[in-house]
């Protein structure tokens, strides 16, 4: 499968402003099933761009600008060579195949931070909300538990695209009975962490033949299962993350992986708006010959 991604972001100002350093987290992460065939960035202002690979193996582009401007446009184009596979093609170690289970000591040392709740004030609420899915004394398959949690969020809460910055706490999402993909992923992760299962947020792109036209970057969750490794779950769709999901960046906290971040020098009134165009399409065979 060949996937074509076009991602354009434009920042518009009423006058020329100067720009501080910016960070890009837009480059898909390569893996055994995903190869980056083309990766091209076009930036409208003279600049210096350098890349680093940080703690979580995310590829981050650092941009330093050398001129002022009233418009900043960052365009990215990717072609992905993807091996389609069954998302259930993994084997969980026998000692972790049924929940409750515990990570062995050395592994837990590595996963400790990802196994701890961020929203500690919401733990009691998460426990009560989880009760129909799991409660102390109940045993069931680990994958079954995670699938039930994933579909429980999908079937009982309303997906709602939010343009506001930030992420809702689990308590806010449960109170409103709605949220965005990052809100649903956060609720899923915090429920997993309450259960002692390491989880992390994933920002990336996804392809769906049911979506035509402009899209947004997507967010989902991954959990670490001994023997299987990191497995993706998308509570916004109630499914496992398949080969149609293309991770860009991972983090313990969803707000740590924006596609573009940076500053400008000027007043708040100087900023007019942001325009984002994102298209994720599958290339037809005849276009590749």
The H-assigned helical ranges of the chain are 105-111, 123-130, 142-156, 170-176, 181-194
Question: The tokens 């990191």 sit on which residue?
Answer: 230
Q: Angle at which helices 181-194 and 123-130 pack, to 10 degrees?
A: 90
pLDDT at position 228 is 97
- How is residue 107 written in tokens? 């592994």
Cα torsion 8, 9, 14, 17: sign: negative
Give this prediction's pTM: 0.94
Q: Angle at which helices 181-194 and 142-156 pack, to 10 degrees?
A: 140
Task: Quickly list DSSP for 41-60.
Answer: EEESS-EEEEEEE-TTS-EE
Question: The tokens 């000591």 sit on which residue?
Answer: 105
The H-assigned helical ranges of 79-212 are 105-111, 123-130, 142-156, 170-176, 181-194
pLDDT in tens, the chain (289 residues): 999 999 999 999 999 999 999 999 999 999 999 999 999 999 999 999 999 999 999 999 999 999 999 999 999 999 999 999 899 999 999 999 999 999 999 999 999 999 999 999 999 999 999 999 999 999 999 999 999 999 999 999 999 988 778 899 999 999 999 999 999 999 999 999 999 999 999 999 999 988 877 889 999 999 999 999 999 999 999 999 999 999 999 999 999 999 999 999 999 899 999 999 999 999 976 455 4
Nearest 5°: the CA angle 228, 181, 73 is: 110
Among 126, 83, 67, 71, CA closest to 244: 83
């Amino acid at each position: 499968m060949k996937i074509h991604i076009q991602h354009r972001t434009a920042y518009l100002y009423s006058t020329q402003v100067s720009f501080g350093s910016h960070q890009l987290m837009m480059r898909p992460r390569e893996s055994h099933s995903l190869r980056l065939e083309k990766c091209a960035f076009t930036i409208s202002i003279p600049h210096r761009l350098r890349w680093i690979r940080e703690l979580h193996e995310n590829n981050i582009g650092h941009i330093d600008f050398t001129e002022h401007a009233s418009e900043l446009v960052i365009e990215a184009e990717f072609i992905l060579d993807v091996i389609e596979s069954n998302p259930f093609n993994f084997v969980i170690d026998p000692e972790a195949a049924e929940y409750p289970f515990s990570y062995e000591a050395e592994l837990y040392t590595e996963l400790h931070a990802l196994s701890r709740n961020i929203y500690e004030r919401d733990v009691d609420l998460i426990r009560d909300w989880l009760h129909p899915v799991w409660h102390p004394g109940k045993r069931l398959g680990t994958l079954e538990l995670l699938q039930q949690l994933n579909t429980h969020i999908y079937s009982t809460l309303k997906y709602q695209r939010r343009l506001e910055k930030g992420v809702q706490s689990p308590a806010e999402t449960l109170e409103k009975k709605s949220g965005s993909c990052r809100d649903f992923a956060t609720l899923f992760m915090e429920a997993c962490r309450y259960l002692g299962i390491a989880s992390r947020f994933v920002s990336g792109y996804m392809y769906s033949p049911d979506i035509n036209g402009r899209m947004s970057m997507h967010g989902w969750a991954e959990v670490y299962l001994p023997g299987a490794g990191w497995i993706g779950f998308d509570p916004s769709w109630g499914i496992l993350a398949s080969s149609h999901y293309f991770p860009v960046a991972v983090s313990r906290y969803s707000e740590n992986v924006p596609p573009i971040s940076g500053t400008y020098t000027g007043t708040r009134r100087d900023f007019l708006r942001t325009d984002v165009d994102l298209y994720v399409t599958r290339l037809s065979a005849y276009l590749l010959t």
